[in-house]
Amino acid sequence: MSDLLTVVERLIDSPMQIEDHLAREMAASVGGTVDPTAPAQAGGASA
């Protein structure tokens, strides 16, 4: 939950970006497809 708060605090002036973030996170968490336009995860591929 603190991750969501951090995202909202950083994007408070861009509510559409908050919505985009939530849509990506929800799609990934429920087994949906991830937005193909989303940037790659930071840190590269996990080992």
Domain boundaries of the chain, sorted by first residue: 1-31
CA 37 to chain CA centroid, nearest Å: 12
In whole angstroms, give the CA distance from residue 10 to residue 4. 10
| Separation in Å, CA 17 to CA 21, 44, 46, 47 | 6, 23, 26, 30
* pLDDT given for residue 47 in this prediction: 55
First-last CA distance in the chain: 26
Higher pLDDT, 20 or 40: 20
Task: Decide: pTM greater than 0.85.
Answer: no
Residue 14 reports pLDDT greater than 60: yes
